[in-house]
Amino acid sequence: MSVLPLDAADSVDSVATEPVRRRRGLPAALRRPGGAFGAAWLLFMLVASLTASLWRPYAVDEQDLANRLALPSGAHWLGTDPLGRDILSRIFTAGALPLLSSALMLVVAFGIGLPLALIAAERGRTTERVISRLTEVLLALPLIILLLAVIGAIGNRLYVVMAVLGVLISAAVYRVLLGVAQSVRQRLYVDAARVNGLSSLRVNLLHVLPSMATVVAVQGAQLFGIGLLINAGLAFLGFGPAEPEPSWGFMIQDASKYLFDDPWLMVPTGLVLAVTVVAANELADALAAQGAPAGRSGKTRRRRAQAGAPASIPAPTAPAPPNESAPNDSDAVLVVCNLSVAVDDGTELVTGVSFALRPGTVLGLVGESGCGKTMTARSLLGLLPEGVSVSGGSIRWQGRELLGRGSRSVRGREIALISQEPMVALDPMFSVSYQLTQPIRRFRGVGRAEARRIAAGLLAQVGIVDAERVLRSYPHQLSGGMAQRVCIALALTGEPKLLIADEPTTALDVTVQAEILSLLRALVRDTGLSIILVSHDLGVVADICDDVAVMYAGAVVESGSAPSVLDAPAHPYTMALLGANPHVPEGEPVPLRLASIPGTVPPPGEWPTGCRFATRCQFAQDACAEPFPARAAHHTGHVLCVRFDELSRAHATWDTEAVGAETAPGAETLAPAPDQIAGASR
């Protein structure tokens, strides 16, 4: 099932490129010269070192005293050391320890860091803070001193020392992977999996971990190289295996004594160590170049921070008065009353939102970007972003309270979601068949074959004629319109009674938009579904909605039936929105320049204490600046405007000329009669 968009831009770029990359991840990295060299060299070193006892020409302690410090020859391909021992045999015998102990270090580091990152990303801010503080303690410890202390306590057991090193660097691994896990968890298909009722463990295993694979691989390859160097460094300092057991570090230390007289002695071991470290780094680079999401995730976090975090902690603003009339609808399946949503620092994003939804009808939530439509919609399913929560009010679904844990039981089964970005709402890792049959089996308790039959039926229901081919496809093989149809089919897997559609046609081109809208209309007509449609397109709302709630700066400023709100808008903001609507009715002149509403929506935390629209309103007076609670009597019916009565008596209309609309020369304008505005203007 698809879900609400949180970060469309991030989602778009990640999904547009990831499916193909991820499925062909390793081969793509290996096709790069650096990646191919790195993988081949590491594999060669591993195999050659582990099998050295089978093929080495000499035992590691076998001495050829007549040929001490010999240069390469037929008898000794890489020469001999000061005791006449064969360097080739010793280098490859010594290779097993650094390679295997570095691998052990990685297993320990990722074995601790990865689960901690997944837990911290999933459990929320408090758990994340506790884990992060603990890992900071680990990071603050002096690594080398600690390792020397461990060696002092347990002796030169390099496998144990490297495992301890793994524990210490698990903190750094955690820090990197936490950011990636948090970013992945914000993707739509992860929300979709949660809506589909997957347990946290399965969400992590099926959706989050695969998306982190590239970052894990890149980090692993880099840390492997570092592990080799630390291992050799410890052996260089004398903390490696005791002579005559060979170790790279000791061989380099031994060679350093002969640097001037016999410089060749340094070359083979130094070169093998250097090339092995370079190989690990080359492999890491190739993996990163094939499309590491880490970079995007960092960018995403910054983008999210910019979008979400207010510049300063604001003073609390007066709450908008509740829309008291809407929730009294006795037929309603969903009654939202005085809903408030706030960030943890107290900044309110949505206040006093109330509306009711009748069965088999479509309610449109409209308003400019940033007015709180998505936050309102996400509240219904408890899918608010981290750090944002419902701070007041109630959401009653068929008489049951959804706030608290109530939303979990209805997610997917009774209330489902479709999103703005269909390509992002589908997990690029899985075929359409898998993504449809999994929730069908879970929700309907049927077997695999039956689930596939139902999936094909759902695809047919959403207008897909070649269901079998689409079932076999992966998301990146679908067009936007097809992907949105699949998302709608996904939403229907749990046989929901309410569909929340967050701008379901915004990402589609105009002809496909019309198809999707008519599909939604048909679903309402044929199945009795109710829909909450989030949109800023008044044409779409007029086309499909029975009721409309207009939102501005976190509050519903006007609500009512679609014809009454759209044909006879009563709130100046609704009038202004309609005035700025780029849809031109047939027979009316085409504007040269589109009308706009002056100014911008005040961000959360900077809402005026009185009417939030007052600074942009043509009809604003001093009274509009007064806090609403003191003037509750002016909140009449569904219109949150203190001048509502006055304006409606004067038949006031929004003057689009005043805000920049121009029509073609000679064309008739539809400007309101001066006397209509006169009675209502300042």
Ligand X SMILES: Nc1ncnc2c1ncn2[C@@H]1O[C@H](COP(=O)(O)OP(=O)(O)OP(=O)(O)O)[C@@H](O)[C@H]1O
Chain positions contacting ligand X, by CB under 6 A: 307-308, 343, 349, 367, 369-375, 385, 387-388, 536, 603-604
Minimum Å gap between C-beta 201 and ligand X is 25
Laid out side by side, the sheet with 334-343 consists of 348-357, 334-343, 388-397, 400-401
Residue 325, phi then psi, degrees to nearest 5: -75, -40
Contact 628, 321 (CB under 8 A): yes
CA atoms within 13 A on the CB side of 2: 29
- Partner residues linked to 334 by β-bridges: 357, 397
Minimum Å gap between C-beta 376 and ligand X is 7
Closer residue to ligand X (CB): 9 or 205? 9
Minimum Å gap between C-beta 24 and ligand X is 34
Laid out side by side, the sheet with 530-535 consists of 415-418, 498-502, 530-535, 362-366, 547-552, 555-561
Closer residue to ligand X (CB): 123 or 303? 303
Distances (CA, A) of 64 to 71, 72, 86, 244, 540: 13, 14, 8, 15, 89
Minimum Å gap between C-beta 316 and ligand X is 16
Closer residue to ligand X (CB): 367 or 672? 367
Cis peptide, bond prior to residue 244, ω within 30 of zero: yes
Minimum Å gap between C-beta 533 and ligand X is 12
Minimum Å gap between C-beta 532 and ligand X is 12
Please tell me the total number of residues recorded for the chain in this structure. Answer: 682
Minimum Å gap between C-beta 373 and ligand X is 4
Assign 320 to helix, strand or coil.
Answer: coil
- The closest of 531, 532, 556, 681 to 613, measured between CA atoms, is 556
Closer residue to ligand X (CB): 246 or 605? 605
Minimum Å gap between C-beta 266 and ligand X is 56
Closer residue to ligand X (CB): 56 or 296? 296
- Pull the structure tokens for residue 543: 């086309």
Closer residue to ligand X (CB): 487 or 550? 550
Distances (CA, A) of 566 to 35, 205, 550, 551, 643: 60, 47, 10, 14, 19
SS3 content of the chain, % helix, strand, coil (to 5): 55, 10, 35
Closer residue to ligand X (CB): 290 or 513? 513
Minimum Å gap between C-beta 669 and ligand X is 30
Rounded Cα distance between 660 and 248, Å, is 76
Closer residue to ligand X (CB): 308 or 627? 308
Hey, how many other C-beta atoms are within 10 angstroms of the C-beta on 10? 23
- The closest of 232, 272, 268, 225 to 253, measured between CA atoms, is 232
Closer residue to ligand X (CB): 115 or 308? 308
